[in-house]
Amino acid sequence: MVTPRRFAFAVPLDGAGCRLDRLLATHVDGLSRTQARVLIDIGGVFVDGKRVKVAGRTLRPGQEVRGTIGRSLAQATKATGQAARARDAAAVATFHVVHEDDAVVVVDKPSGLPVAATAETDRGNLAALLSARPGTPRIHVVHRLDAPTSGLLVFAKTVDAARALSRDLTTRTVARAYETVVAGCFPDDVHTIREPIGGRQACTHVRVTERLGTMATRLHCQLETGRTHQIRLHARSVGHPVLGDRLHGIATDHDPPRLALHATTLAFQHPVSGKHLAFASPWPEDLMAWLERLRARDQPRLAQPTIEPLSRSAKETS
DSSP β-bridge partners for residue 217: 182, 211
**Do 159 and 239 form a contact (C-beta atoms < 8 A)?**
no
**Do 6 and 28 form a contact (C-beta atoms < 8 A)?**
no
Spatial separation of the C-alpha atoms in residues 232 and 244, rounded to whole Å: 10
Question: Closest Cα partner for 156 from 133, 117, 130?
Answer: 130
**Do 17 and 36 form a contact (C-beta atoms < 8 A)?**
no
DSSP β-bridge partners for residue 257: none
Other CB atoms within a 10 A radius of the CB of residue 278 amount to 9
Active-site annotation holds for 48: no
DSSP β-bridge partners for residue 140: 156
Q: Which of 146, 160, 255, 298 is catalytic?
A: 146
Q: Hey, what amino acid is at 299?
A: Q
Q: Let me know if 251 is exposed, middle or buried by CB neighbors in 10 A (0-12, 13-18, 19+).
A: exposed
Alpha-carbon dihedral 45, 50, 55, 57, rounded to 10 degrees? -140
Residues with active-site annotation? 146
